[in-house]
Chain A
């Protein structure tokens, strides 16, 4: 599991969240051939159906050094080959992780991911939460910190919740919880009395959640604000005034397709105009 915690310094505050790669599979194959095959394609656009096949080189002593590589989203192991199943750019992270970076807005629930959900119904012991997937997730009322049968959490229909998936596969309805394995909230639960919720693409969300995210660093310099980012593409923002909140919303929605240069000039212009 990969954990990416980040806290913005100075004046902004944001919650920590975990970031995992979905759909991973481990390939035990000869190290040299794999890395060589992948290395030449890093940073290139690949299309679904592209195949990386590894011919095991006959080494002199007959023993093959096996090494683990982790195939992230967009890559799938198919017997002896690794196939690309999403169109996008191949990315690499040391020491041995490869994945396809694609622009997608449709969210597919995956276990362990933290998302922002909207409560749509209260039925018996569970809440029905809309997370943007094909099915609504269920959230038990006991899955909050300090909740017991007598002490129910104060959750109304239409509230925002930040939770994590415990069950998320294609055969069952996904399940959310708002506590971690120790029973502590750890930043999850109901939130957002004020502020604005909006939707961005999944690629931008991952960029925002990366440690040392440049976008967050640039945004901090303009003015302080609270930010919650869900892996389902939903972002919640709250700043001191309505105007500031709207500014941050519009900036985040537009900086998706900009290069870092353009983004920095835009942010600088906004900061100047604001002061």
Chain B
């Protein structure tokens, strides 16, 4: 399906607004949108929300023979996919320029920067190494896919745990997560891409462009950096002429942003680790805001109230007298009795009869909830006295 074309008046308005340093959603020139990172129940699954742009990153691993040129190193494989779910402009199975650009940039950012120690992924040199595969899916496109994809990829890699292996001679045993705890990857640093969009022949720049701003941009500069202020890659596209001091200024801004984002990622990882250790609930379902019902509306159903007393008396008089036999609990062992399931139902079907035998039997239960109320006198039952137990007194 084709994407909505950008009309002339929108283009003019956006450029005019940028000249006046105003953005559509009220941000400042160097502001990022709200970043939210949430992890799934499996290790290595992460969703990043950058404003309305949503990206999912998933890491998986597999034992494969290594490359001939590097027999002692593991293999990293990156794949970014643009699904039509993200935007009507994306068609399935079509190699668009954007897709190629994003894939190349992601590879350059993560592979060439050597952020993951590939030597540690080697199991048996020359025969078996771990292949780590990072899949990034774009769920919603509202601008700045590159940044979101890089954050998702590096968060997923930091979150991922690979299975533990034991080597005895030439035999390799891979332990399942239940047998031995999985091991995290060894990550040296976290490179993160920061995008700068240039407008009007490079005179104005914006950080983190949204989708409409991206459509009117002249050129794009992507700087991949880590928090130690090391630049991992710089890419400029669009063919605009940039001055030296502009690029230097961008790198300074990028270092500030990257340290903030790295802080965010670490906090999210820490939170997830804490929750998993305490045994609380984790995963995507927990990270979504739950909708609360604040009012409950129920229509009042009219109830016929005339002759209630008479009809009630009539019903009571008409019923049969309850049977004499009182159901006794079956003694299973010393201190335990069985009531209810599995034995003959000797209770009558009317509700009136059920009340009396029930109260007798509950007294013989061993477990008793001790109430917090000060008004109640609660007596804990003794084991021997099953039948002759004192009832709970309630005021």
Contact = CB atoms under 8 A, between A and B. Distances in A.
Contacts of A197: 7, 9-10
Interface string B6-28: 11111111001100101011100
Nearest to B18: A242
Interface residues of B, number: 18
B5 interface: yes
B4 interface: yes
B5 A158 contact: yes
Contact of B9 (A120, A194, A249): A194
A8 interface: no
A21 interface: no
A246 B13 CA distance: 10
A193 B11 CA distance: 11
B5 A118 contact: yes
Interface in A221-248: 236, 242-243, 245-246
A250 B7 contact: no
A130 B17 contact: no
Contacts, number: 52
A246 B24 CA distance: 7
Contacts of B6: 158
Nearest to A158: B8
A160 interface: yes
Interface residues of A, number: 21
- Chain B: interface secondary structure? loop
A242 B13 CA distance: 8
A160 B8 CA distance: 8
B24 A158 contact: no
Interface in A149-190: 156, 158-160
Nearest to B14: A196
A196 B9 contact: yes
Nearest to A130: B5
B291 to A, nearest CB: 13
A88 interface: no
A156 B17 CA distance: 23
A142 to B, nearest CB: 23
A246 B22 CA distance: 9
A211 interface: no
Given A118-B4, A242-B16, A195 B9 contact: yes
10 A-B pairs with the lowest CB-CB distances in the bound complex, closest first? A158-B8, A192-B9, A118-B7, A196-B13, A242-B17, A120-B5, A197-B10, A158-B7, A118-B5, A160-B7
Interface of B: 2, 4-13, 16-17, 20, 22, 24-26
